[in-house]
Amino acid sequence: MAWFNDFERQTRTVAGLPVCFRQTTDWAAQAHLPVLVLLHGFPQTHVMWHRVAQNLRGRYRLVMPDLRGYGDSSHAVGDAMHQHYSKRAMAQEVVGLLDALGVGDFFLCGHDRGGRVAHRLALDHAQRVKKLCIIDIAPTLDMYSGNWGKTPQVSGPVADPYFAFAQAYYHWFHLTQPAPLPEFMIGGNPKAYLHAKLGGWGSQGLDYIEPEALAEYERAFCNPMLNDKGWHAAIHSAAEDYRASAGIDLQHDADSRQRGDKIACDTLVIWGDRGVVNRMFKPVELWQAQCAGQVAGQLMSAGHFIPEERPQATSDALAQWMV
């Protein structure tokens, strides 16, 4: 399959910061097509959507950004409250990019961290999102709170679901440690860390990743560029994403729930049968509690990295939902 045929890579400045993205070529000529925005997760870049994008070209005008802190977008040093990497700030940057492209309303899909950005975007910019798809996550506040929605599948001498969750998602707690401890620890061998993440969470190794994509992840995550503090810039900004999720994002989510804010549009939830979300959470019920619209669910035979493990099934699900 051709590598991003019919898609062009660009960098735009949004509110003074660079945002790298790919979009459908001949953008103006395809103005009759609806826009679908695809947001990637950790530790990847927008190229995770390569196979899905090829399957969906001609149906939508696609926009695939590198989220703030990832790929070739901005890697600015985080602030004390981690507001710069809050999902609210990252969602606003995505909306700013779409404003620059002349996009009004759009379909939206996010995997992993991109799903958390998409959740906040759908709350803060409800009038812009026509339909939403969230892939292999439960709401952040529920996951950190141990609101499983089911009896988790756990075993062993310590039959405590939070013990099992912390083991499976230890990076949620490691990356939130104050800088620069995670930056220095991961920076000692970033490629080994990257491969461990990409091959884990039920994904059964790296064979599902095509060589071009793996090379891109290695280039972006292992980039030796240092930030103004002298820390590994790509690792620092990814850690800031998680620090925000364990702090300011939880406050934003709690405030939204206290106000009774809900995702207004219909939402599709996809998750993998070998992943942590399936083992420990009840994603449809948890998302329905946060949505005013209809919530549908689809369990796929996959680990965590579903768009790359099951690109055709993911594409089909999006094409059927995003109408």
Question: Which residues have a Cβ under 8 Å from the Cβ of 189 and sit 6 or more positions away?
Answer: none
pLDDT category, 260, cuts 50, 70, 90? very high
Is 160 known to be catalytic? Answer: no
According to the model, what pLDDT value does residue 103 have? 98
Spatial contact of 197 and 43, defined as CB atoms under 8 Å apart? yes
Any catalytic annotation for residue 304?
A: yes
The amino acid at 1: M
Coil, helix or strand for 104? coil
Calculate mean pLDDT across residues 92-118.
98
**Would you say residue 255 has pLDDT above 60?**
yes
Q: What is the pLDDT of residue 158?
A: 81
Domain that holds residue 45: 7-321
Instruction: Grade residue 159 by pLDDT with cuts at 50, 70 and 90.
Output: confident
Q: Is the pTM of this model over 0.95?
A: yes
Phi-psi region of 216 (alpha: psi -120 to 50; beta: other; left: phi over 0): alpha
Q: Residue 137 falls within a domain, yes or no?
A: yes
Does some domain include residue 1? no
pLDDT at 147: 92
Radius of gyration of the chain (CA): 18
| Cα distance between residue 107 and residue 85, in whole Å | 23
Q: How confident is the model at residue 247 (pLDDT cuts 50, 70, 90)?
A: very high
CA-wise closest residue to 276 among 116, 143, 100, 98: 143
Establish if 120 belongs to a structural domain. Answer: yes
Total domain count, the chain:
1
Q: How far apart are CA 62 and CA 33, in angstroms?
A: 9
From the candidates 112, 142, 241, 249, which is the catalytic residue? 112
CA–CA gap between residue 311 and residue 50 (Å, rounded)? 9
| pLDDT at res. 2 | 72
Report yes or no on 2 lying in a domain.
no
Q: Is residue 275 part of a domain?
A: yes
Domain assignment present for residue 223? The answer is: yes
The catalytically annotated residue of 40, 50, 75, 304 is 304
- Please indicate, yes or no, if residue 165 is contained in any of the structural domains: yes
| Any domain includes 148 | yes
Number of H helices, E strands in the chain: 15, 8
Token digits of residue 312 = 């055709």
Domain at 110, CATH number: 3.40.50.1820
Q: List, in sequence order, every residue forming a beta bridge with 284; answer none if it has no partner.
A: none
